[in-house]
Structure 1
Amino acid sequence: MKCLQAAITLGFLVQLHAVRLLEPRCLTTNTLKELGDTAPWMASISNRNGFVCQGTLITSRFVLTAAHCVKRENSLFVKLGLENGVFSSSQYGVDKILPHFAYSEYKFTNDIALLRLQEDVIFNDFVRPICISLNMDIKDEVETLTEFEAFSGRLAKNDTLKPMALDRSDRSECVSDFGFVVGDSQICAGCINGDICNRDTGGPLVRMISIRKYLWYGVVQLGIASFVADSCNGRVVFTDVISYVDWIEFKIEENSEESTEPDNNVRPPNPIQTSTETPQEQVQFLNNDCGEYTNGIHPWSVKIYWNGIMTKGTVINERFLLTKAQDMSDDPNAIEVTMVDSTGSYEFLVDMVLKHPEYQAGYENDIALLRLSSPLPSTVKPICLIINPEYKKKMADLKYSFIINENNNALRKEVGRLTSDQCATRIGKPIDQNQFCVTIPLGTKYGSPGDVIGLDLNDAGKHMFVITGFASYSSNGITIVTDVVKHTEWIAESSRKY
């Protein structure tokens, strides 16, 4: 598997019911004939100190890259306009950095991120998005591919970027090379005497795709360079883009703004020198008709039973409940749900259990979603869940209330939030980064696992309750809370997807 410099010529045929592309103006049939062997989708990502990573333009507003490149960045710029292997001086500011919510720098999983540019890109001969196929049914065929192309170049030194032909390797070979698990959402590929280095991470793994039925062909991104050998010689682990097209589509839709379509016959604008800032937004809820309660009854509170065990849960929309993952049955048929609201009591069955992908026994990421087999009645109002990312820090600084539900009555008690160090001292061990601790007033019951921690809002005389966490377990007079705010992306995406 010797590395060769390559042009964009590799292709394969697929049969689809319809062609679904993230950006219909991507590099397809007509533009390929006009542009020849170029890579106008390539992006060079930098911070104020210089080059950071490669990326790809996938719409007029969004760039795709690796999460490890941008996770700790707060001020980024993107260069576009690859001409004869060198980027032009056209530069765009980034106003949102969106790494995948489940990215793990220790396991090298979910290594994917989006960057939102401050303004729409204007397409021309040297600036055009790569195609992202939204047809997940091509994944099985992608698994059979043996040849790809990636891009190599010392962009930090303004070196020429060149395409390299790579061969697929079995995932077990990457496991042997790097010592960590390489899963189905990753691709292992490489070549002997290669030149794909750390500087090339974030860049694309591409392939020409032809769909004979629709007389369509185009360059499609199939991977993102995630992990490479220090020697730049050998195999590379790529994030499998097809496994994440639902997430890409959802995050772009969630973070898109109204904009005027650009005139794609003119050159890109002058460089933009501005820092990344998160815009101020109005509070956004997962469900707008939420959180109201009266007469001490919280209609979003439920009890969950399985195998003689009971825990509490919380309604977040008409089909989904939020609860603990620890000890929760994986068999939905073993679970029953009961609840009480102002109109009476109800019983429900569950048809799906979704535990957080990073959940580990011992209460790390102790959170799960249960999908009900039928929708809740309209009289049942879900709890409010704020999904704006910029409100996470604000909510951490507010006073919380603990809702303890006993005998169908809700007791609201104010609680004090401890720092992580204070909590570790009190319970004798550190807590997970997605947990926090609260103290319970003397003489008050600790409540049950799953009881809600949150904010009591008074909106024009109407009481609204916003969830910020739920009780995971108690130790030495302290309640350890799963921080729901840290998991809002996973909750929103999963409840939408399933």
Structure 2
Amino acid sequence: MSVLSSALFAILLFHQGLAYLLEPNCKGHIELVYKIQAGENALGYHTPFMVSIYDNTRKFIAGGSLIHKRFVLTAGHVISKDLKFVRLGEKDRTCQNWNCSIVQEYLVDKAIGHPGNKLLFENDIGLLRLNAHVEYNKAIKPICIIVDDEVKFKDVKKLRAFGWGRTASTEKLSDVLKTILLNREDPSACELSVGATATDHQFCAASADGHGDTCPGDSGGPLVADFTYEGKMSYTQIGIVSYGSQSCNASSIYTDVASHQAWIAEMVHTHEEHLLFENCSSQWTGNIAVRLWETTILKRTVAGTLITDEFVVTVARAFQTNFTDIKVKGKYFEIEVAQIIKHPEFSHSRGSFKNNIALLKLKNKVKMSDLVKPICLAVNSFPSITFTALLEAYNRSVVGLQRINFTPTKDCSRTIGMPVESNQFCVEQPRDYKYKLPGSVMGTYKEVKDVMSYLLTGIISHVKYGMLVFTNVETYDDWIRKNIM
């Protein structure tokens, strides 16, 4: 099965009746460690899903909730280019990492806002993708997000909000996590306090005892409640703090999570780490390394690599003139090329190549078998830190492919006399192995969704002064996906 588009995913999700918890390992029933007085201080609540969000000056921006091992849910209006990192396991923001061992920091590597968040905060929702998978523990665990179009939460009347916002309209932000119990109100109740009626994507709520409200600084934080789903009671996110009155003592507008569940699931599916093509492999039974994806082009002067059943990745430098009747040759197939897609910013000068990557669309799909399969390519992945090539030795007494590890050379630019670009990396050329053909693969062994795979990381761009310069294929995953859809 090839790449599953976001639109198709949404159709499958709701028209085939799929329903599930976004993260099965989510927070269970609420626990109280000790009694909270006045319902304000939240230190006694077990809130492992709470997230504090900071900008590039380390200034606190907003709250959020951990909903997945790589995603934080927050309000769309807090998303900006200045968002830098989040802290998990934090309750007291004066607690620094060095003396607060349970707190973990993660960088934000992508902010995803809802495209409909334009007028009156109607779709005031966003996701932050983190730069690494969160390690769950007792102090850090996601809140439950139910993905089921039959679940609406309208009968859930009492909700608990958490945040570090101001405790009154004139006070500074709270260092300590606070909480307040809210009652869901009629949508028109917010007309008096904020001059707007809650839409179908929002709801209106106010303090259960008539005193207090969420306040500036609480934006993005979760509204939660115990909810029974498929026979199990779990602490579930119902809403997101959106906006309210400056008095912090009246009804406010909250984003309705249930009406955005399809969007949340679609965005997580689209932007989480996964394989470009599921039916991929680089080994046989017994963990024998094989290059099932290997092809050659232009009379075996250039290597190509199957990344799906109808696309090959290779170097753009091979197609600097117009070719016709190009064929991709594998050990067990030979197929004509229907289209050459060079990177639009490919360039070369004095032996140096930039954006040296191209895709070849085949006229016919390759028939998959135990002898022919694409290489695995992870999208939305983390930068690789280890590199392994599957190579043949010049010495014929060495049988089969060898797993040869490489370390990128930091002073490569000085050796080759030209810059190594941010989307390239460089290693020393091995003496005893056949490894210099443009387009040849460098990979890494990594787990994707708990399955260990050999993943494509780069292809040889050019060789100079005994150094192999690679195009870092991982940095082109957006371009690759755009062109194979």
Shorter chain as denominator, the TM-score bin is 0.3 to 0.5
Q: Which of the two has greater helix per residue?
A: 1
TM-score (normalised: structure 2): 0.47
